[in-house]
Copies of this chain bind each other. A is one copy, B any other.
């Protein structure tokens, strides 16, 4: 039960922040969900903010890296991107937290910007692997379209446009 509490806390905190936002999230909800008490959480994390920053590092950033480092081709990349609406039920966690936090807290701003940069680099590397020209700009185009289309999907509650927009982009590369 040593590592378990900390990891369970991060899992539950990720889910809660993902749905309610960082500011809207209630620590009591997380504690109740994990089935532990206050002091136990404050043993591992010195504040709600500390918990939030660790969620970005050890959940959001880590999931992103795991997902995209295994991607080898452009086709594979688009397949992964197109499968997003099934899993990202409240939108893109990185995007959502960025929109909320970057102009509110500079520590969040730093870690979220860094995480985004990693994401962009991973996409760029996939493009370079197949010698796509102008990979830096193309990576940004792909991410921009992906993030925007995901938002439209959630606002419309309709995945049709999400996949068609991404497939149209794929053809233009």
Contacts and interface: CB of A to CB of B under 8 A. Distances in A.
Interface of A: 19-21, 23-24, 90-91, 95-96, 98-100, 102-104, 112-113, 116-117, 120, 137, 140-141, 143-149, 151-152, 154-157, 161, 164-165, 168-169, 172
User: Is chain A's binding surface mostly helix, strand, loop or mixed?
Assistant: helix
Contact of A103 (B19, B23, B95): B19
B148 A145 contact: yes
Given A112-B155, A148-B149, 4 more contacts: A20-B23, A23-B23, A90-B103, A172-B172
A137 B149 CA distance: 11
9 closest Cβ contacts across the A-B interface?
A: A144-B148, A148-B148, A147-B148, A23-B24, A144-B149, A116-B155, A140-B161, A96-B99, A144-B145
Contacts of A172: 172
B90 A156 contact: no
A1 B20 CA distance: 38
Nearest to A21: B100
Contact of A99 (B23, B95, B145, B165): B95
28 contacts: A19-B103, A19-B104, A20-B23, A21-B21, A24-B100, A24-B104, A90-B103, A95-B99, A95-B151, A96-B99, A102-B154, A112-B155, A113-B155, A116-B156, A120-B152, A137-B165, A137-B168, A140-B149, A140-B164, A141-B145, A141-B165, A143-B148, A143-B152, A144-B149, A144-B152, A145-B145, A147-B148, A147-B151
